[in-house]
Structure 1
Amino acid sequence: MRDMSGEHVQEAVASCVALLRTAADRDWTAVRAGRLEWDCHTTAFHIAEDLIAYAANLAGRAEGDYVPFEITLDEGTDNEGLLQVIETTGALLTATVRTTPREVRAFHPYPFRSANREGFAAMGVAEVLLHTHDIAEGLGLAYEPPVELPKFVLTTIFPHVQREPDDHWGTLLWATGRGELPGRAPVTEWRWRNNLVIPADRLTLQGVTPAAAADLSAGGDGGFTWIVGGPFEGTREAAGMMLNAYEMGVHRPEFGLFVLVRKEDGLAVGGMGFHGAPDEEGRAEVGYDLVEGARGRGYASEALTALSEWALARDDVRLLCATVEAGNVPSQGVASRAGYVRATVEEERAARGEQDLNGTDGALRLYVRGERQPAA
């Protein structure tokens, strides 16, 4: 999957500036920007502030907070000058996104306190599109961005929002409290969600966005660089399941698919994740696979331990389950080394319900880990 993040920032800024230049001769300080409390001039300057702040955090590899600086306009700067500032700060974010390695993450508070280059690009595009909409609404201008831009934003930092297949822009406006969609309640509070990354010793578990899931399920690399032979078919199938949940509006990003990436070289070696969100009893099922060339090195056990400890620290998870084929001794070993034990009869019954799992009799084994099973 080719990284188009920098191009998307560039295109968003170009669409913003092209529209606002048609009204550069008007007094932007005298007009409120749509539903915001700010006037159009303040809102336009805010676009530039966000673009340079995102570029600074990503370029400076900020940790724990924003880089502590502000920009100001020279006294007497007119609307045309302000548009030049937006163009310049947009160019700086574009260049930063294009030149930052994929594995770099920098501070952003929502919701997991970091974002990668794709996340910063999506946040920048969102700020540009949404605030251009606000200004256009205040000035009485018609605005609709290029169709790929709201799609990029939705599938990167709004994984919890079900999009309308033929109306990405309308979905984004609704999701940010700026519009309406038939059959959906108005949105009054919202935040985007960058992907979750869980650290392990030699690996990071990197949450897969809907955009990456779509690419993986279609045979692509999901934006990751894989070791030879990857990704494994199970990862592609899991990506397809996650994409289906997203399109149905039931996907919870933190209970989706993660790609296992080696810290030493940034190469992806496998996939791991949940089959869905926890049920009402706090049970969630996990699954995992590794590319053949990465097996036998303890990666899966290491990653499963990290994922399990993260999940069981939450209030909504009480028991984790892993279903393993009876003949798959290595996979059973992975579960055991990650603190899972063979399920009791009661736990088997609770997990299976009234169904005989996959119609098999003894061909599958259930392993569980809960608060009562510490990691080995």
Structure 2
Amino acid sequence: MRTINGEDVTRAVAGCVAALRPAADRDWTAVKAGRVELSCHGTAFHIAECCLGYAANLAGRAQDAYVPFEATLDEGTDNAGLLHVIEAAGALLAAAVDTAPPGVRAFHPYPFRSADRHGFAAMGIAETLLHTHDIAQGLGLPYEPPADLAESVLTWIFPQVKPGSEPWPTLLWATGRGELPGRAPVTEWRWRNNLVIPADRVTLTGLRPAVARDLRLGGDGGLDWIEGGPYEGTRGAAGMLVKAYEAGVHRPEFGVFALVRHEDGRAIGGIGFHGAPNEEGWVEVGYDLAEGARGQGYATEALRTLADWALARDDVSMVIATVEHANVPSQRVASRAGFTRATVEEERIAHAEHGMEDGLQLYVRRA
């Protein structure tokens, strides 16, 4: 698949500079930028600050806070100089994105305190597109970015937003800058980088809608899979994620995760939730491995880690897994991960109220 990358950052910055350069001779400090509180000048400098800060965190592998420095403009810098600063900061972010190894993550506060290279690219693009829109609105300039850039931002860091008929209006609506028919105005918003949960030998890496869509269509999702992967269960789970995203009901923290092996960075399987917790606090999990990774304890490790993560939350009271009667290896995985066979009453409820199919055994871990 084509992942979001440094070239996309460069395209976004080039579009920004091209849109704003015709007004470089105007006083940007005297004009408010759209709906934001900053002036057009302050907002333009904010674009540069964001790209530079993201580049520094990613290149410097910051883990607990932003790299401690502050950018300033030389006294007397005019708007043409400011646009040059934006270009330079964008180039630094693009280079940091394209040279970062696949598994590297660095600090960003929301929502899970880290982002990978794709997340930093998407955040830099989002800041550039949206604030160029704000400045252009304030200065009365025309501006509309390429639709594929807006779509990339949505599918990489706005997984909770139901897609609209066109990506740019949808992104403007999702960030409180526009309206969409049939949707309430947005007054508060945040983008969402993907969740990663480390285990001993693997990392559970949350799949974004863009990645899940590629897996559903038969691609590799931008991951380096061992032979035989991804297995059919992972592709099916990716399809469920895409359906939830398209319906606007996807909760990213209760999505699907690729299992990425620490020793070589290769994906060996998938694990994830069948949806968000129900009213009783039950949440169902499923898992599979490529054949070459089976029998080595990876599934047990991943299932135990994901269950521990879920049961530490206030909205989860029980993690459940359904296993076919004949699938003894999967039953053993569940048992080794701390699950036990459900009670007769729990299985009755699962059949009667939650649609559990006949021929399945219910395994549970309680909070």
* 1:26 aligned residue: 26
Between 20-29 and 106-115, the greater mean CA deviation after superposition: 20-29
CA distance in 1, matches of 2:245, 2:81: 42
Residue 3 of structure 1 deviates from its aligned partner by 2.8
* 1:344 aligned residue: 343
- The percent of aligned pairs where both chains have the same amino acid is 71
The amino acid that maps onto 2:333 is V
CA distance in 2, matches of 1:212, 1:2: 10
Residue 229 of structure 1 deviates from its aligned partner by 1.0
The amino acid that maps onto 2:365 is R
* 1:374 aligned residue: none
Residue 4 of structure 1 deviates from its aligned partner by 3.5
CA distance in 2, matches of 1:40, 1:218: 43
Equivalent residue of 2:115, what SS?
coil
* 2:227 aligned residue: 228
- Select 1:366's aligned residue among 359, 362, 366: 362
CA distance in 2, matches of 1:350, 1:185: 37
Change (3 A) 1:161 1:40: same
Q: How many aligned positions are there?
A: 367
* 1:178 aligned residue: 177
Q: Is the 8 A contact 2:4 2:121 kept in 1?
A: no
Change (3 A) 1:355 1:58: closer
Q: Is the 8 A contact 2:104 2:116 kept in 1?
A: yes
**2:119 aligned with 1:119:** yes
Let me know the Cα RMSD of the aligned residues. Answer: 1.0
Equivalent residue of 2:137, what SS?
helix
Residue 70 of structure 1 deviates from its aligned partner by 1.1
Structure 2: stretches of 5+ with no match in the other structure: none
* 1:332 aligned residue: 331
* 2:102 aligned residue: 102
Equivalent residue of 1:137, what SS?
helix
Structure 1: stretches of 5+ with no match in the other structure: 372-376
The amino acid that maps onto 1:330 is P
Change (3 A) 1:137 1:8: same
CA distance in 2, matches of 1:351, 1:125: 45
Superposed, 1:318-329 pairs within 5 Å as 318-329=317-328
Equivalent residue of 1:128, what SS?
helix
Q: Is the 8 A contact 2:205 2:257 kept in 1?
A: yes
List per-residue Cα deviations over 1:311-332 (Å, max 9, x = no partner). 0000000011101011111000
The amino acid that maps onto 2:286 is G
CA distance in 2, matches of 1:144, 1:352: 51
The amino acid that maps onto 1:189 is E
Moved over 4 A (4+): none
The amino acid that maps onto 2:342 is A
* 2:268 aligned residue: 269
The amino acid that maps onto 2:344 is V
Equivalent residue of 1:145, what SS?
coil
Equivalent residue of 1:118, what SS?
helix
List per-residue Cα deviations over 1:170-201 (Å, max 9, x = no partner). 11111111111111111111111100000100
CA distance in 1, matches of 2:263, 2:78: 50
Change (3 A) 1:73 1:227: same
Superposed, 1:1-376 pairs within 5 Å as 1-164=1-164, 166-354=165-353, 357-358=356-357, 360=358, 363-371=359-367
CA distance in 1, matches of 2:23, 2:342: 68
CA distance in 2, matches of 1:272, 1:346: 27
CA distance in 2, matches of 1:145, 1:183: 24
The amino acid that maps onto 1:368 is V
Q: Is the 8 A contact 2:56 2:67 kept in 1?
A: yes
The amino acid that maps onto 1:287 is G
